[in-house]
Amino acid sequence: MQQISVTDLKSRLDDARQTPPVVLDVREGWERELCALPGSVHIPMGQIMARIAELDRTADLVVMCHHGGRSMQVAMYLERQGFGAVSNLAGGIDAWARQVDVSMATY
């Protein structure tokens, strides 16, 4: 499983020449209410097994959570389920808020 930094993800999302990755947010709903990446797909970690069919196995996925621990577990699970291009967002939304979008709320 690969790690991707928040600055690398920002570059990929901003590059109109390439298809953006699908950002999978595995945090709880109350966490997303505080802050979220626009356009991200929300499936809480506890629902991944039941909702795995909602994800495209061929898509380039970047899994994110608050700091990167839960998303790493989900990314490893998705790889074991046959998903090909899965990355974990190192530092999670907290790193995004501190390094990319300092106007974003932190918790």
CA atoms within 13 A on the CB side of 67: 2
Beta carbons of 59 and 41 less than 8 angstroms apart: no
Contacts 24+ apart (CB under 8 A), 40-43: 40/64
**Token pair of 16 as six digits:** 């109109």
Catalytic residues: 65
Unique residue bearing structure tokens 């994800």:
55
